Amino acid sequence: MTQLKDTGATSLPVMEHFYTLQGEGYHQGKAAYFIRLGGCDVGCVWCDVKDSWDAEKHPVLKIEDLIFNIEQTPARLVVITGGEPLMHNLDALTAALQSKGFETNIETSGAHSLSGSWNWICLSPKKFKAPLPQILPLANELKVVVFNKSDLEWAEQYAALVSPNCKLYLQPEWDKATVVTPMIIEYIKQHPQWELSLQIHKYINVP
């Protein structure tokens, strides 16, 4: 596999990039430009973007070309996701974005060391590869995907490790949503520090 974490990378493997609405978590419903980077070694069995896992399958794009595409839209918020985006050094990407006035958000499992400058860090830890301890207090948002009942107890373990101001979200795994959503609703009613995150982009049929 390609060595991914090049210092100050000015080009990155990009599976896809598009302007849409953020469908999940704290920024749900906001217009956002998404950059989905290739490469992931976390290996969630229920991942809905498994095509992103192999970075070598995706074109390597220059940062300036990505910014040119973003500037063709009214976007002010840019979300970097994957795959696992922190397999790459994102310092150059976020510096370029912020120099143009864009807000930078990241969605990460936290399994790799943090790079880049972020306005918002969404940490979505996975059982398949645990987040690094140093990223936990930096998270603005903890979003736990719930596949079964045991994930609720697991979510609480991480809620105890993030900062007191971190927003807490439970999100049903899409293919099991009919089963786990009612369970999550009842759990949140008993534990109101949590909120429900739904993948509304899938309900409204946007990317």
Number of domains present in the structure of the chain:
1
Q: Is residue 3 a part of any domain in this protein?
A: no
Question: What is the mean predicted confidence (pLDDT) over 23-30?
Answer: 97
Q: Is residue 46 a part of any domain in this protein?
A: yes
Q: Is residue 185 a part of any domain in this protein?
A: yes
What CATH number does residue 52 fall under?
Answer: 3.20.20.70
Q: Name the pTM for this structure.
A: 0.93
pLDDT in tens, 68-96: 999 999 999 999 999 999 999 999 999 99
Q: Is residue 158 a part of any domain in this protein?
A: yes
Radius of gyration of the chain (CA): 16
Give percent of the chain above pLDDT 70: 96
pLDDT of residue 4: 44
Place 141 in a pLDDT band, splitting at 50, 70 and 90.
Answer: very high
Helices (H), the chain: 63-70, 91-99, 150-159, 177-190, 200-203
Q: Is the dihedral of CA 157, 159, 164, 166 positive or negative?
A: positive
pLDDT of residue 53: 84
Q: Is residue 195 a part of any domain in this protein?
A: yes
Q: Is residue 110 a part of any domain in this protein?
A: yes
Return the residue matching tokens 């991480």. 158
Q: Is residue 183 a part of any domain in this protein?
A: yes
Question: What is the mean predicted confidence (pLDDT) over 170-188?
Answer: 96
Place 8 in a pLDDT band, splitting at 50, 70 and 90.
Answer: low
pLDDT in tens, 190-207: 999 999 999 999 999 888
Q: How far apart are CA 102 and CA 197, in angstroms?
A: 24
pLDDT of residue 50: 75
Is the CB of residue 167 less than 8 Å from the CB of residue 175? no
Is the CB of residue 131 less than 8 Å from the CB of residue 107? no
pLDDT of residue 124: 97
Which domain range does residue 56 map to? Answer: 11-203
